[in-house]
Structure 1
Amino acid sequence: MFRSRARLRRRWVVLTSAALTTVALSVTLTTPASATPPNIPSKATAQAELNTLTVAAEGSMTGYSRDLFPHWITISGTCNTRETVLKRDGTNVTVGSNCAPTSGSWYSPYDGATWSDPADVDIDHVVPLAEAWRSGANSWTTSKRQSFANDLNYPQLIAVTDNVNQAKGDQDPTTWQPPLSAYRCTYSKMWIRSKYHWGLKLQASEKSALQSMLNTCSS
C-alpha cells in the first residue's frame, strides 16, 4: 500500500470588522487536467515492447552523477525543459518574460492532487536517471544522456506532486508505483515505452511488476 503525503497551505485572513485574525485553509478550485506525455503506447503495443526488452542483472552505481545527464536545457527562447513541461501539463498556465509560470494549475496523476503553485510541482523522469545508469546509460555519451534527460518526444517527463516524486527517488516499479492505483496502468506503459525507445535493460523483478501493472489495463 502506497501513501501520498498531502501538503496543506495556510494563510492568515484578517477580519477587519472584528479586528480578529483566524486561520483558514486556502483552496483553489480548478478543473483538473491530466498530464499527457506524448507517445504513450496501447496495452498491446506496450506488451510487445515489454516482451522484447533485455532482462539482465541491475548494474552498479559506480561513476554515477546527475551531472552526467545535463537536464533542464533551453528548449525554445527562454524556456527550459522544466518550464516547457509545466506549460504542457498545466491548465491555464501563464508565464513571465523568463518563461517561469506566474499562474495556472497542475493536476498530478500520480496522487490525484491539484496545485496552483508551481513550486509544489516536480518534473519526474519516469525512468529515473540513476535507474537508467544502472540499466545501460552508463555506457552512453553525455550527449545521449542529455537527450534522455530532456526527452519531450516520448513519455519520459511528467509534472507531479513534488514530495511524491521525491518519495519515488530512483526506484523502479518493483518497489515504487504511483499511490493512485488507477494510474498504474498508464505508468507501466510509459515506463515500458521509455525503456524500449532508449534501449535500456530491466531486471526480472522489474519485468514482473510491470507485467502485473500492465494486466490492469483495458486498452
Structure 2
Amino acid sequence: MSTRDTIAVIAGAVMILALIGKPATTSRAAAASPLTNTDGTRSGLAPLTTGTERRQGADVIRGLRTRPMGSKAGYDRLNYGANWADTAPGVPYAHNGCRTRDDLLARDGHDLARDGCAVKRLRLEDPYTGRTITRPGQIQVDHVVPLSYAWRMGARSWPMSKRLDFAQDPLNLLPVDGAANEAKDGSGPASWLPPRARIRCAYAVRFAQVARKYRLPVTPADKSTMLAQCR
C-alpha cells in the first residue's frame, strides 16, 4: 500500500470514530402541497397560492358531507388507542418500531439529530404560525381533524381498528407550535383556523382530505368556512 493510500485509510477511520456515538443527522425537503401529498408521507403543509391550486382545493372541500355536531358523551382519548402507538393496522409508518410522534418529527423537521427513533434536535417551520422551532419539547403533533371532533361526527360507531388508524394516520398529523395546538383544542374550522392566514386554504384542504378518507361528515358551518378560505 502506498503512503497516499495509507493516509486515506487512516483519515477514513478517524472520521468513522468521530461519528460513533453521535446522533444521526439528516435534512428534509421543503413542505409539500396537500394536493400532491395525499397519503401524508411527504413533509409539512405548503400554502396554496395560485388560482388553480385554490380552485382544486375548493373542489376537494365541496365533496364533503355535512350534518349537525353530535354529542361528546363517552369520548375518551383511549377510544383511539394508546398515545402515538405503533400498532395501527393500516397506515404509513405503523409497525416500524418508532412512536408516531417521532415519525412525524422526522418527516417534517430539518437538520435532524436522532438517537435511534428519538428526535433530539431539529428545525421545524411551523405551518400554523410561520415560526421556526428548534426545541422538540415546544412541538405538539396536531390531529388536523381532532379526535373529539371525529367522535362527535360519527367515530363513536367505528371499529377500534379504524379509530386507531385515524389517530396515527400521517395524513391527519402535523407537528406544530404547542401553543397554537392548545388554542385549537377540538375545534373545527368554523371555530379555529391557523393564525397564519396564508396557510388557511391548505389547512382546509387537509381537513377535507382526512374527512373524506374516513367518510366523516363535517358541520355545515365548518364546510362553509373551509370553502371561504380557498376563494
The question of a shared fold, defined as TM-score above 0.5 by the shorter chain, is answered with yes
Equivalent position of 1:56 in the other structure: 67
Which structure is higher in strand share?
1
Could you say which structure has the larger radius of gyration?
A: 2
Q: Is the 8 A contact 2:126 2:175 kept in 1?
A: yes
Structure 1 residues 184, 192: CA separation in 2 closer, same or farther (over 3 Å shift)? same
Aligned alpha-carbon RMSD (Å): 2.2
Q: CA deviation at 1:143?
A: 1.0
Alpha-carbon distance in 2 for matches of 1:112, 1:46: 21
Residue 119 (structure 1) aligns with: 137
Aligned to 2:195: 179
SS in 2 for 1:205: helix
Partners in 1 of 2:109 and 2:167 — Cα distance? 20
- Mark the runs of 5 or more structure 1 residues left unpaired by the alignment: 1-30
- Identical counterparts, % of pairs: 32
Write the distance in 1 (CA, Å) between the matches of 2:194 and 2:120.
28
Displacement after TM superposition at 1:45 (Å): 4.4
> What residue number does 2:123 align with?
105
Aligned partner of 2:229 in structure 1 is 213
Q: CA deviation at 1:115?
A: 1.2
SS at 1:170's partner residue?
coil
For the pair 1:82 / 2:94, whether they are aligned, the reply is no
**After superposition, what is the alpha-carbon deviation per residue over 1:114-170, rounded to whole angstroms, capped at 9, x for unaligned?**
111100001100000001111111110111000000002x3x111100111011000
1:71-122 Cα deviation digits (max 9, x unpaired): 411235441110000000000112113x111221111110011111100001
For 1:92, the aligned partner's letter is D
Query: Residues 114 and 164 (structure 1 numbering): CA distance in 2 closer, same or farther, change over 3 Å?
Result: same
Residue 54 of structure 1: how far off its partner (Å): 1.7
Cα 1:35–1:85 shift into 2, 3 Å:
farther
The whole-number CA distance in structure 2 between the counterparts of 1:187 and 1:85 is 17
Structure-2 residue corresponding to 1:68? 79
**8 Å CA contact retained: 1:49, 1:193:** yes
TM-score normalized by the length of structure 2 = 0.73
Contact 1:32 1:107 in 2 (8 A): no
SS at match of 2:205: helix
Counterparts of 2:112 and 2:103, CA distance in 1 = 11
Contact 2:28–2:111 (8 Å) recurs in 1: no
Evaluate the alpha carbon distance shift between residue 177 and residue 124 of structure 1 in structure 2; reply closer, same or farther with a 3 A threshold.
same
**Structure 2 CA distance for aligned equivalents of residues 53 and 184 of structure 1:** 17
Structure 2 gaps, min length 5: 1-26, 41-47, 87-93
Mapped partners of 1:80, 1:112: distance in 2: 26
TM-score using structure 1 length: 0.77
CA distance 1:195–1:77, shift in 2 (3 Å): closer
| Contact kept in structure 1, 2:112 and 2:121, CA below 8 Å | yes
**Separation in 1 of the partners of 2:219 and 2:96?**
40
